[in-house]
Amino acid sequence: AAGYPLVISTWKQIKANEAAIAVLKKGGRALDAVEAGVRIPEADTSDTSVGYGGLPDRDGRVTLDACIMDEKGNAGSVTFLEHIMHPISVARAVMDKTPHVMLSGEGALQFALAQGFKKQDLLTPHARKEWQEWLKTAQYKPIINIERHDTIGMLAIDSQGNLSGACTTSGLAFKMHGRVGDSPIIGAGLFIDNEIGGAVATGLGEAVMKTCGAFLVVELMRQGRTPQEACLEAARRITSKQNYKEFQVGYLAINKKGEHGAYSIQPDFNYTLYQNGRNRVIESASFVK
Ligand code: SD4
């Protein structure tokens, strides 16, 4: 189809998309593309919501969540993982090399080390400083579009027309130790159904988990909605029940035809789309204008 290959990412992720596109241009799988793509912000210390350089929890520890899903419905995930720069590749290894979908905390780290991943200190001087600043008041309150919201969710369609997705984050800054968000949860932060489409979420994970966000978006597309309509309805499920004025949630979706959609609760959600040879940042429509 004309719309393939396609890569779409939450927020301004020009370089991540470029890394994914490079894989797709060589005829690679969407799965390899999304893994390569999200590894860019994972290793980028200026991205304070993902991997290395991510802001720590309230105890000063960087704990990471990630998941990946392919066109066959295979999935892998890690939650509450410390000391590994590329949680997405650990999630991929969980998918490829274990009979499980999700590994957490110590067990996930143990598995990563056994797979040859290197143990590293991920707390950068900058993130440590922000944490020490936060400790002065130590008030946990999610603020709209905080953390520059660079958590990355990425969806891709390769030239075969197959879909995959990846999602990786250090989660909410200064969260409680042990807190896990939506991002590593299949059906919440990410869902792929190769017959229908895929979706990813960003923002306050608690709101997304309580509504099975990404799964809901894909199921709505199955019932005939466009990606845009599906994202809007999934956001509406949140705004109709929860006190949405206090937080942000953004959804991105693509369907099998290569159409895309996005919708957020608060303004200022954007995403990066590569399609037909162009890689550009687009502002999402929002519930609150
Ligand atoms: C979480 N959804 O841990 C993530 C945070 C996020 O941009 O998306 N930040 O709840």
CB contact at 8 A, 273 and 230: no
CB-count burial class (<10 Å; 0-12, 13-18, 19+) for 274: buried
Amino acid 2: pLDDT:
64
Catalytic residues: 151
| Ligand 1 close to Cβ of residue 170 (< 6 A) | no
Distance 169 CA to ligand 1 centre (A): 7
Distance 27 CA to ligand 1 centre (A): 31
The more confident residue out of 20 and 147 is: 20
Amino acid 228: pLDDT:
98
Rounded percentage of the chain residues whose pLDDT exceeds 90: 90
Structure tokens at 101: 């979908």
Instruction: Give the C-alpha separation, 123 to 158, whole Å.
Output: 35
Amino acid 220: pLDDT:
98
Helices of type H across the chain: 14-25, 30-43, 87-97, 105-114, 125-135, 205-209, 213-222, 227-239
CB contact at 8 A, 259 and 238: no
CB contact at 8 A, 253 and 221: yes
Interface predicted TM-score (ipTM) of this complex, two decimals? 0.97
| Ligand 1 close to Cβ of residue 250 (< 6 A) | no
* Residue 121 neighbours by CB distance under 10 Å: 9
**In the predicted model, is pLDDT for residue 146 greater than 60?**
no
What strand order describes the sheet that includes 163-169? 102-104, 75-81, 64-69, 163-169, 152-157, 6-10, 270-275, 278-283
The more confident residue out of 247 and 101 is: 101
> Is beta strand 285-286 parallel, antiparallel or unpaired with respect to 260-264?
parallel
Amino acid 3: pLDDT:
82
Amino acid 138: pLDDT:
84
pLDDT band at 165 (very low <50, low <70, confident <90, very high): very high
Residues 34-74 have pLDDT tens digits of 999 999 999 999 888 999 999 999 999 999 999 999 999 99
Encoded amino acid at 49, one letter: S
Residues 194-230 have pLDDT tens digits of 999 999 999 999 999 999 999 999 999 999 999 999 9
| Ligand 1 close to Cβ of residue 49 (< 6 A) | yes
Kindly report the backbone phi and psi dihedral angles of residue 154, in degrees, each rounded to the nearest multiple of 5, phi listed first: -130, 140
Instruction: Give the C-alpha separation, 69 to 136, whole Å.
Output: 40
Amino acid 259: pLDDT:
97
Q: Which of 12, 49, 176, 271 is the best mutation target for the ligand 1 pocket, counting ligand atoms within 8 Å of the beta carbon and taking the most?
A: 49
Overall pTM surpassing 0.90 (yes/no) = yes
User: Helix 87-97 crosses helix 105-114 at what angle (to 10 degrees)?
Assistant: 80
**In the predicted model, is pLDDT for residue 113 greater than 80?**
yes
